Amino acid sequence: MRRRFYIQTMGCQMNVHDSEFLSQCLIQGGYVPAERPEDADVVLANTCVVRAKPEQKAYSFLGRASALKAPDPSKFIGIVGCLAQMKGELLLKRFPLLDLIMGPRELSRFPEVVKQMDRPHGKTVATRLELAPPCHAPDHTCFHNKATGYISVMEGCNNFCTYCIVPYVRGREISRDPDQIMAEAIRLIALGIKEITLLGQNVNSYVWEAPGRQRLSFSGLLQQVSQLKGLLRLRFVTSHPKDLSDELISCFAAIENLCPHIHLPFQAGSNRILRLMGRGYTREDYLHLVQKLRKVRPDIAITSDVMVGFPGETDQDFQDTLDLIRQVRFDSLFSFKYSDRKGTAADQMGNKIDELTKGSRLHALQDLQKRITLEKNKELEGRKTVVLVEGKSKRGNQSTGRTASHKVVNFPGISWEIGALVKVLIEKGFLNSLQGKPIGSLSPVKENLRSIEMK
Provide the binding-site residues for ligand SF4, judged by CB under 6 A.
157, 159-161, 164, 166-167, 201-202, 240
Of 227, 206, 218, nearest to 249 by C-alpha is 218
8 Å CB contact between 287 and 264:
no
Q: 58 or 164: whose CB is closer to ligand SF4?
A: 164
Which residue, 147 or 169, has its beta carbon nearer to ligand SF4?
169
Closest CB to ligand SF4 among residues 48, 157: 157
Cβ at position 16, least distance to ligand SF4 in Å: 16
Q: How many CA atoms lie within 13 A of 365 on its CB side?
A: 31
Task: Please state the closest distance from residue 158 (CB atom) to ligand SF4, in A.
Answer: 8
Decide: helix, strand or coil at residue 207: strand
Maximum Cα interatomic distance, the chain, rounded to a whole number of Å: 63
Rounded least distance, CB 241 to ligand SF4, Å: 10
Q: Least distance from C-beta 274 to ligand SF4, angstroms? A: 12
- Minimum gap (Å) between residue 414 Cβ and ligand SF4: 39
For ligand SF4, give the closer residue by CB, 82 or 388. Answer: 82
Looking at beta carbons only, is 113 or 248 nearer to ligand SF4?
Answer: 248
CB of 166 to ligand SF4, least distance (A): 4
Cβ-based nearer residue to ligand SF4, 226 or 335: 335
Closest distance of CB 170 from ligand SF4, Å:
7
Q: Please report, for residues 261, 305, 338, 354, 366, the alpha-carbon distance to residue 359 in angstroms, rounded to integers and kept in the order given.
A: 29, 17, 10, 9, 11
Kind of pairing, strands 398-402 and 384-392?
antiparallel
Nearest to ligand SF4 of 154, 454 (CB atom) = 154
How far is the C-alpha of 84 from the C-alpha of 44, rounded, in Å? Answer: 11
As a whole number of angstroms, the distance between CA 233 and CA 148 comes to 9
d(C-alpha 380, C-alpha 427), whole Å: 8
State the minimum distance, in angstroms, from the CB of residue 41 to ligand SF4. Answer: 35
Least distance (Å) between residue 120 CB and ligand SF4: 40
Task: Tell me the C-alpha distance between 427 and 454, whole Å.
Answer: 13
Total residues belonging to the chain:
455
Taking the least distance from each CB to ligand SF4, the nearer of 160 and 430 is 160
Between CA 349 and CA 347 the distance in angstroms is: 6
List the beta strands (DSSP E) in 202-343.
Answer: 207-208, 216-217, 233-237, 261-263, 301-308, 332-337
Complex with ligand SF4: residue 163 or 416, whichever CB lies closer: 163
Give how far Cα 444 sits from Cα of 135, 195, 232, 384, Å: 29, 11, 7, 17
Q: Which residues contact 336 (CB under 8 A, 6 or more apart)?
A: 51, 305, 306, 307, 308, 362
What DSSP line would sit under 101-166, residue for residue? EE-GGGGGGHHHHHHHTTS----EEE--SSSPPP-----HHHHTT-SEEEEE-EE--S---TT--H
**Among residues 268 and 424, whose Cβ is nearest to ligand SF4?**
268
CB of 312 to ligand SF4, least distance (A): 18
